[in-house]
Structure 1
């Protein structure tokens, strides 16, 4: 009978600290539990091993270590800290195009972040804000619990847009142009280079427009009223000391009036249903230069805008506007 001697395998030792009662898993198998004092120790076979703590729904990250024979490995406590799993929330919001933001309760509104829907969030209390153009925003409070899924219906209330006018009836200014950032400030003047139809936001323009204007580059100053699209509007031009009025219907321009101006530079336009009055300031007084009665169309229904031409070879007209105001009719 022959006996073959084999070398004994020297085991390694795993030591760690964690929450009392937490179960210790090595390579996915339960190895024991952390004692009341928060300490745990066990022997493991040499080689690469995975280590994980679990207690209830909480888990630690998985830590891997290549154990050497006879080694004692003290696992870093911060790498085995227990963490609660995220919870899921889903907002069934109407209208569906509404956007959602979230922040933890107690955080300032500036901390609000865009939220996906559904969303996976760490446990805690959250403020969810739903908003959409034309609807009143809504804020709801949700408590996210570990591993749970919550669904919440949210119906936004549609609101009626107020009449387009300045706050408390005050005049509106340059900021109400559709592209206010395209204007450049220059010594008290607002400069616009090209842009073709440079429109003002209000679509109801009954009221009074007033402004000073200079033509820095180009052939003429032009503005429009009752603008609904690029083929339909009333067109007004100032070229040197001549004022002309035109109608544009379905893309066809019709000449209506031509007047010699007593002065140029400062204009006032009064718009009402079926009537447009143009005045210029001359000798310190407002002088009427054109009064247009147009019962066949209400030119107050549509936008005001400047028509700043752009040439075929890249040349752009340049307008300088100052003291622009629009006072809506009450």
Structure 2
């Protein structure tokens, strides 16, 4: 890979501690909801709600991974992805009657599904997947390629949801959802289930190259739609690569012994685990869900 391309990863690595140490807004809407006040959509939003609390866990994970505390890093990352998935699925189900749009997009939803798989929570994927596509079919929540969001081609969604759909035995219809085929990601889509790890390895290496090449370093690059990874977290955590490896573990398929690529040699590429590895309960999330089941049970899908 060209050095100027690798600089994208290097710059992101240099900025990760500052990003992960950034301050957050007080989660007042979340706290109000726990006390019986406020609105469920406000309680899950990305600034004052559950989604923001999930991102705080991601920040903690990245910080402790830098010191080699892998078990703690896995716990924080698993909590983070789970909180963000619950926030998104609740937000989508909250607008089922009003038919409103939500703030997320299909790329971010795909990344959350892959993140759940990568951090040992694959059971969260099916209910979230059903909520996302239920909303797309009925015209609420987030949209597919027929109403393309600004700043994306949704090629990351096409890639990730093709693999997820294959795993769930719910094949993704690219034409129906107006999603693009992408040659770079397509090699991993075509080979992720191969029983031969030597056949898989070139597709993984190409996917790693693609990840690094598509790290955006400026707002202008991100808005262009040519870059999939817009934050330091997205840049340094190879979520989609780790998700494929964990899916293969779940299916009993062997993985390559080593993926010799700079993206996979950072501390952050080690933030991944199989189901059952994180045994500590997320008491904050459980407390929130208990209140949701009392106040707004209709927003929780079957299975979550």
TM over 0.5: no
Q: TM-score range by the shorter chain?
A: under 0.3
- Scaled by the length of structure 2, the TM-score of the pair is 0.21
- Of Structure 1 and Structure 2, the greater strand share is in 1
Using CA pairs under 8 Å that are at least 6 residues apart, name the structure with larger relative contact order, 1 or 2.
2
* Higher Cα Rg, which structure: 1
- Of Structure 1 and Structure 2, the greater helix share is in 2
